[in-house]
Amino acid sequence: MKAALITNLVTGDFEKNQKRILELADDAVKRGAGLVVFGEAAATGLINTGELEHDIKIAEPVPGPRNTEWGKFARDRGVYFAAGLIERDGRRMYDSALLYDPGGNLILHYRRNDPGWLHPGDDREVYRVGTEIRFTETPFGKVGFLVCGDLWSNEVVERFKAEIPRYLIYIMERTFNTSQDIHKDWESELEAYWQRLSITGCSVLAVNLLREGFISLGSAWYMDGKGKVHSLLPAGMEGALIVDLI
């Protein structure tokens, strides 16, 4: 099976972002992809502020308008579809990831376990983290998600490894201060990400969000279970990295 690791350019216009996600996914399917993967908070960016009324408008329930379209796309095209979102569950919010199967069924719903997306003053009864590491079986192997800061939690990574998955879908939005030389800093960090991901012992499908203003630079890569990076989509560009799953 071919997978498409896709970085979409995220702007302040969520409807425009959603339209672009579906356009890029459609193009990837035409190029033979049976699995499409987008980044963390793919349609909005991780732009929670800690102001509840602002953040509630960004967050989306599951099912909700945008993620329902993701499931419909998966069903209509007969592919797997993975993407992240800021999730709203009543008055609670999570940094989450979803995977739909070719029938449009939601087969994996993961909530980030690491609290790094939260602000110090956030109400922890509203802004939440997950407590489970979930997996699903697919024809191409056992699959699980990690989201951004999960990777740097030893406890989360050890629980992930213990289930011996074949594939890790790793989605993130690595942001930088605009006063930094962010291209240089990102290049220096990549090796650290690769070394850390190699600890999982499984093949990795990784996508970093591309956010307007180059706050987050994008990029995507495919790594095998021995830690070898087979393919890399350069930072700073929108597009799809098409890979053959090993």
Per-residue pLDDT of the chain (246 residues; tens, 9 = 90+): 999 999 999 999 999 999 999 999 999 999 999 999 999 999 999 999 999 999 999 999 999 999 999 999 999 999 999 999 999 999 999 999 999 999 999 999 999 999 999 999 999 999 999 999 999 999 999 999 999 999 999 999 999 999 999 999 999 999 887 666 877 888 889 999 999 999 999 999 999 999 987 688 999 999 999 999 999 999 989 999 999 997
Task: Round to whole Å and give the CA distance between 177 and 44.
Answer: 19
Question: Which is nearest to 87 in space by CA: 116, 119, 130, 122?
Answer: 130
Task: Round to whole Å and give the CA distance between 169 and 148.
Answer: 11
Q: What is the pLDDT of residue 180?
A: 67
Question: Which is nearest to 235 in space by CA: 213, 200, 212, 210?
Answer: 210
Q: What is the pLDDT of residue 146?
A: 98
Q: Are 194 and 227 in contact (CB under 8 A)?
A: yes
Q: Which domain holds residue 170?
A: 2-244
Look up residue 47 and give its amino acid: I
Number of domains in the chain: 1
The gap from C-alpha 168 to its chain's centroid, in whole angstroms, comes to 11
Cβ contacts of 36 within 8 Å, gap of 6 or more = 3, 4, 6, 25, 28, 29, 79, 80, 81, 82, 240
Q: Residue 70 is part of a domain; what is its CATH number?
A: 3.60.110.10
User: Which residues, in sequence order, are bridge partners of residue 4?
Assistant: 36, 242
Q: What is the pLDDT of residue 65?
A: 96
Question: Which is nearest to 97 in space by CA: 15, 205, 13?
Answer: 205
Q: What is the pLDDT of residue 178?
A: 67
Q: What is the pLDDT of residue 188?
A: 85
- The three-class DSSP label of residue 107 is strand
Model-wide pTM > 0.85: yes
